[in-house]
Chains A and B, each alone.
Chain A
Amino acid sequence: MASYGAMPEPPSDDKRWRIVNGTMRKNGFARHSLIEALHTVQSSFGYLDDEAIRFVALSLRVPLSKAYGVATFYHFFTLKPPGRHTMTICTGTACYIKGTDKLIAEAEKHLCIKAGHTTSDGNISLMTARCVGACSRAPVVLSDGAVAGEVSREQMLAQLERWTVE
């Protein structure tokens, strides 16, 4: 068994780092568990910041450049903190055929942000998804992860309004 030397200290005493550490330990701190570790960071903290990427890279003895490369290569990873609420509009083919491009344009206009961004008050993130696999119910919109099918412009705007006045 090779000696791993001193392990880096977590960036803070936030308990969530224990979960991240747990994933890495489960994989024997192997370099190939980089993506798994980043998944755990994102599911625990909601996004990947420099500190987290640095901690994971050091723990797995992966060059920082490589860890950053992986974190930015995959669309699922986000380097920005999400808003309190997230609306994800599916842009799969079936949804596109049924007009989600118009839904996105409406939502962008309503929130005054581009898809992929969060409102300046940090309340709502507007995201797009490649396909969530609910194509038979297109167009599909996820409100904080809850899947809704055959969503109309009015339904979507009403949801955004509810989050705004909350």
Chain B
Amino acid sequence: MEKEGDSVEDFFNNEKNLLVRFKENLNKDLDHENLSIEYKLLGTNYNELLKQSVKLMKIGDSNQRRLIKTQNDLLETHSKLELSYNNLKSLSQLGQTLTSSLDTKEIILTINKHIQDIMESDIVTIGMFEEDKGLIKYKFLVKNHKYIPSMAFENLNEDNFSARCIKSNTEIIIKDLELEYPDFVSLIHNLWDEITQSLIYIPLQVEKRIIGIFSVQSYNKDAYNINQLSVLRTMASYIAIAIDNANAYKLLSKKNRQLNEHLEKIRILNNQIEIEMNKSEKLLLNILPKSIAERLKKGENIISDYFPEASVLFADIAGFTKMSSKMSSQEKLVDILNEIFTNFDRVAGNYGLEKIKTIGDCYMLAGGIPVPSDDHLERTIDASLEMIEIFKILQKELNIEVALRIGINAGPIVAGVIGKNKFVYDLWGDTVNIASRMESNGFIGRINCSEYVYEKLNSKYVFEYRGEFEVKGKGIMRMYFLNRKI
């Protein structure tokens, strides 16, 4: 530049000197010969000046061109920097979007959209590494900008790009498939597309775990430059985190779903168990008094309770055995018995009495057990009167030629459950035996009571003294028919 500067200064000095000399010559009175010499000299100098001028103009042009080039270079650098900045900014935003997504389909669609803005791509896909199966499954695929459900996979035990990428844990860049890997052409074309030319496989890694492959492909050869590769690498880091999160979420959701399914099954089972338990409970309460059933459930094996006073009633359907021998249908016979005993059950329930059992055509109930009470005998007596009345109605309704005979006694008894199978709540003791004798020594359509009963309730009920009777195993006993309430 200093040399060029000197040349410019020389040029203007020479031009100035030439003009001064020309002016001086104009003022001189020169003859023709000297004038001719001066003009030639002037011409020569002027030519020199013109040459210098052209040279300087060339230098000027050259500098200008260099200046413009430098300016263009600067603009280009600025554009590149701006693009890099935008890419970085955009990648950072992409990273935020990806890492906050838990849906792999959404992830690949986001990736594809971003890639389309900065480079050409005909296939964008994410493959999942299934280590146990030795496969990379490319279930997520965008082909020609459209999401396609895919089943494509590559076996890692065979020689293919996925296997190479995973095994070496390095990216694979193919600029010209047919030229670089002619043996793989049919494999790739069948797997992806018939016209795939450029392929990039980048392993997806989280910490030190390889979780899959990110692949971008183009139908053109040499489709990706260094900058684009750099962007794809950065993208792969984000994708790896996003996919790992999505996989974890999917697994968690699956476990959660399974857990809910199990819980639902358990809930249904519990309901069934509860229904069955209720059935069992109902059945148990049909067999045993509630308090006794509770005690058995709590673990008591043998229940034997002494009651200083309880009442016992036996009701026998006299003539039933005779009727059954005449009746052709046994089923009808059972129906009749069921009808009678069901009515007796209702009466027992109404008076708070405990049905003990039926023995053939004989019905047995007790009062004052398992919960002792002061009025058990009155309730038993009232129940017996109602049973007689009900039986009369049933005789007509059912058109049966049978009669009811009732015997009642009261006194100390032992009540409980013994045995392990087919257990029943039963009564033992002399009081029970005498009640049974009262029934067997009674009369059809009447209520036969022991002296004990008479002594207890003769102030409230009307009794009819029958006399003394020989009772088997007991000797002579006084007996009374119960007629009605006073």
A and B: partners? no
Chain B interface residues (CB < 8 Å from chain A): none
Chain A interface residues (CB < 8 Å from chain B): none
